[in-house]
Amino acid sequence: MLTNEQIAKMIKDGRDFMKMPIEDPDYKSDQELKKPQPPLCKAALSDVIIDLPNNFHDLKIENDFLKVINTRQSHRVYTQENMSLLELSYLLWTTQGVKEIRGKSYATLRTVPCGGARHEFEMYMVIKNVEGLKSGYYHYLPMTHQIELLKEVEDLNTIIGDSLLQQLWAVKANVVFYSSMVAYRAEWRYGVHAHRVALMDCGYIYENLYLACTSIGLGTCAIGAVDTPYVNEMFGLDGEEEFIICAAPVGTVSPSNKDAEQAFYAFVKENDL
């Protein structure tokens, strides 16, 4: 069990990390030292590559931005109806899609902002119920707007539950997104400051996911409580150079489940908070 002194030190370390107190005029990042730039994204690992549709105008998208903002919420109750491949494609495009390559191969300009346009995150998925796709582990290829099937897996409920520390409501999602950080992609430019910047970058991705889901009538809930070593092993990540940061189940939702959604907050009334 952690002592009070250990807890206090960890809190102080966390605050110092967020304040980024390192001030050394002689410090230089690897980019400033002219070291080779890492790749902009990971290459495909599988021979099973699936093209994603991009006819997004065929989706029923809510165009009233204020309505999208006002109706955005975390959803933990899913109806388990089919999600279309076009809907999945839309979510991947709005969270990690590449719009342009800057320079010869210096940076990608994407649908989300990112410090220094490093885009140090990769998107992996456990797909359960998406039209036309086998259930299993997938990885998004942003340069070509494709996904690759890493491993076909039939019974995913136990895996999803274990990966999210037994948050079992997530097993009814159509797909669970998992974001990994390829650390040196950000460290090359920002060095010791990269990890603080990366946390902000991750937030941009998941806010876009929330808004994109809301705009087409789907629901999501970002999760920080992830069994990182377990998920690293799921997707074959080394846990050092690349490691999972967070996750988000996404599923079909219904207004009729409003009371079931509110049940997750019953503790507020029970504890007179």
CATH at residue 265: 3.40.109.10
Asked whether residue 14 is assigned to any structural domain, the reply reads no
Asked whether residue 7 is assigned to any structural domain, the reply reads no
Asked whether residue 4 is assigned to any structural domain, the reply reads no
Asked whether residue 35 is assigned to any structural domain, the reply reads yes
Query: Would you tell me the crossing angle of helices 4-19 and 194-215 to the nearest 10 degrees?
Result: 80
Percent of the chain clearing pLDDT 70 (strictly above): 99
Asked whether residue 78 is assigned to any structural domain, the reply reads yes
pLDDT at 172: 98
* Number of domains observed in the structure of the chain: 1
Q: Does the predicted model carry a pTM greater than 0.85?
A: yes
Strands in 42-86 per DSSP E: 49-51
Q: Report the SS3 class of residue 171.
A: helix
Alpha-helix residue ranges (DSSP H) falling in 144-193: 157-163, 183-190
Q: Report the SS3 class of residue 260.
A: helix
Q: Report the SS3 class of residue 200.
A: helix
Q: Which domain holds residue 51?
A: 31-270
Q: What is the pLDDT of residues 63-112, one digit of tens each?
A: 999 999 999 999 999 999 999 999 999 999 999 999 999 999 999 999 99
Asked whether residue 23 is assigned to any structural domain, the reply reads no
Contact 89, 131 (CB under 8 A): no
What count of other Cβ atoms lies within 10 Å of the Cβ of residue 80? 13
The answer on pLDDT for 269 being more than 90 is: no
Q: What is the pLDDT of residues 146-167, one digit of tens each?
A: 999 999 998 899 999 999 999 9
Contact 155, 208 (CB under 8 A): no
What count of other Cβ atoms lies within 10 Å of the Cβ of residue 172? 18
Residue 20 confidence class, pLDDT cut points 50, 70, 90 = confident
pLDDT at 21: 67
Asked whether residue 8 is assigned to any structural domain, the reply reads no
Contact 231, 88 (CB under 8 A): no
Residue 264 confidence class, pLDDT cut points 50, 70, 90 = confident
- The chain-wide mean pLDDT, for the chain, equals 96
Q: What is the pLDDT of residues 186-241, one digit of tens each?
A: 999 999 999 999 999 999 999 999 999 999 999 999 999 999 999 999 999 999 99
- The average pLDDT across 9-20 equals 91
Return the residue matching tokens 């967070």: 246
Asked whether residue 165 is assigned to any structural domain, the reply reads yes
